[in-house]
Structure 1
Amino acid sequence: MSWLTNYVKPKLRKVLNPKETPDNLWHKCKSCGQMIFQKEFIANQYVCAHCDHHDRVPPKDRFDALFDNGTYELIDMPKVNQDPLKFRDTKKYTDRLKVARNTTGDEDAIKAAVGKVGGVTTVIAVQNFYFMGGSMGMAVGEGIIAAAQHALKISAPMVMMTASGGARMQEGILSLMQMPRTTVAVQMLRDAGLPYLVVLTDPTTGGVSASYAMLGDIQIAEPGAMIAFSGPRVIEQTIREKLPEGFQRSEYLQEHGMVDMVTHRHEMAEKLGSVLSMLMSGRHRKKAAE
């Protein structure tokens, strides 16, 4: 039986199924359910070719799409205490971090880089929703501060691309303290006369939406992105009323003055380049006049 199981059966399987389909060959759209060839989906910047649904994007792909010619340099992220509260729920916090790092290849839910966008030297920070829901902990707070300090050092504008479920519960009050700390970092850019742009992607919620995500000189959102503090289900249960169609989505927020513009992902690099060029040329003219 051992000989049949270990030798004959695998040989037969190889003959009958010479080519097994890899698990990651296709992507199923979360909106329309269409199956899309994975390579085509990535080449289309994670946008569904059938319904135009904007899916979530890892930081590297963001940088490749936004920086001129995909050329940029990563900014070193500060090291933080890995488990300050020795937190444990169903798993140890350290174990959750290990899983997230192995899955994404990143140290935490934030990465920042510097390069040119539309010819303008720019610092871009990107939150990674695939790393524990893009949750804001000490590492994210320190990463945003490091990106802002680098922008100050080279007198460059900063673009913040948000994607988060909110503050990281495993770090308790220490994660909530990143709200005022990042707010101070944004104010430092403002005091220096450097533009701070925010690109809101799906989803941007919780403490992130209550701090640096809503402090941009210009607020840009991707189509269909959920932007909220509490989700619609929680609000409906609280007020016991049905919410309007599209409530807390980019387009709804633009109509009500909370977002300046909704920009398609394929047009984002060009839009950022033109806005940054305009803002920085105005800054240069002001400095020359002074």
Structure 2
Amino acid sequence: MEKRVIRQLEVNKLAVEAYFSTSLAISLVRETVVKCAKCVLLPVQGPDCEFSDPVLGRVLPILWETRIFINFGNTPITATVYVVADHEAGFPLILGMDTLLALGMNLSMNDISPMNPLYPIPGECRPILSTGLITSMASEKWFHDDPDAVAINYNGPPTIYDPVTKTTIKIIGKASYPLPRNPTFCILIAEIPAYLVYGLDALTPKLKLKFPGATISWPQPAVMRGDRPRPHKRGPTCPTCGEGGHLKSQCAEHAQNEAANPKPIGIAHRIQHPNNDYTYFPST
């Protein structure tokens, strides 16, 4: 779970912790939350009694439908959310793409706004950008279709648990898939209906969730420069070597200079020898 996409929202004057998930098509809320907030519960019938996640493949039973007032980024909306049992959702409120788009969210990657289709588009195989998954994963079909994917040894667990949607995902293998910013990037091959899902390991720090009055972003890495001065240690600065943390009398470089070029003691007279060498004689 990523802390940057966890926000506290007010639902009917009740503070609720919400997770912003760009890989979930609908928005979910726990049964306890709507009952405490005294929301109006609308019955669901037929196919609306369950939701089949097109990304991870989990089927969620839907108890009711309700509407809640949400204000985020200076954008107040009335969102339709679906009520599930408390043990079915990893957060009290999970805002999916339906509510995020209603809030005016613009998904930005490298200052470009790509499409984020959660359902398959005939003739296209676009990747899904997910803030709900930490690790990127893809289907077995993607592995066979993409020539840049190279199988590598996988010694991890046979399944991975998604704590947001509480989904257990079966892992088939692992593939090396170099990215422009990460030539050693790897993707897990899993039994999922989605073709390719980029998790936060592939999206950050270039991903941004832009709302009319707020932006969720990740810190950019610092640029390392070779000519940057070394940080000084705490304490006095030695005038000989320029380093901090020790006195001149404690400096190893100063001791070496003293041994190589001993200084005279007291007042000295300089006498010139025939070979033009100068020798110092300390005064008595």
From the two aligned structures, give the one with the greater strand fraction. Answer: 2
Q: Relative contact order (C-alpha < 8 Å, sep 6+): which is higher?
A: 2
TM over 0.5: no
Report the TM-score, using the length of structure 2 for normalisation: 0.25
Pick the structure with greater CA Rg. Answer: 2
From the two aligned structures, give the one with the greater helix fraction. Answer: 1
